[in-house]
Structure 1
Amino acid sequence: MSTDGTAQAPGPIETSIRQKLTELLNPTELTITNDSWQHRHHRAMKEQGGGSGETHFSIQMVSDAFKGKTTMQRHRLVYAALAEELNRDGGVHALSLQTKTADEANKA
């Protein structure tokens, strides 16, 4: 999303997130939403000159890689996959995660 909340092409961080999660966790469903525009007024973002525009994401993912794992274990898999994006200066500041198996997603 742009600074006014309108859709725009994915940036390099979002593209990297999509590529890594696809390669490592083979999701059957993957939705990535850039929520950064909603946080542009936060102090940390202002200190970065408004941030890169790629600092806050919501991720909804369905993957068989989550079978038999707790929510915490699932989230750790995602965090490990995205360690570079999370640890980079000016990189991802926050992730909101929804992680399900195919069976869980079909019950919803």
Structure 2
Amino acid sequence: MSKTGQDIANKIADMDIQDGPKKLTHKEKKKLKKQQEYEREMEKITKAGGQGHSELDSNFTLSQSQAQNQNLENAVDIKVENFSIAAKGKELFTNASLLIAQGRRYGLVGPNG
């Protein structure tokens, strides 16, 4: 359990000791349950696996060639060359290049449109 979860549990225990056996209200129970669920989800996301990756990283792979120009200190554009992305074993991009130029507008489209 994380530090905030322990703090909540300690507060509940302190309430029980001070006021005797005090029951939690429905609102407090709901809030406590939501907090614990959030902590479990955050723990799942940040949990390190065998190679130091989180559990969510096992679905995606990214590779990029090492031949990059290091003279980009004053560059204002973002340029990524020769990268490949795969999701669940299916190649999405193979040896692709990406250029994001300053001053242009870009939009992202997700699975829901």
Same fold (TM over 0.5): no
Greater percentage in strand? 2
Of the two structures, which has the highest relative contact order with CA contacts closer than 8 Å and spacing of 6 or more? Answer: 1
Which structure has greater helix proportion?
Answer: 1
* TM category, shorter: under 0.3
TM-score, normalised to structure 2's length?
Answer: 0.22
Larger Rg: 1 or 2? 2
TM superposition score normalised by structure 1: 0.23
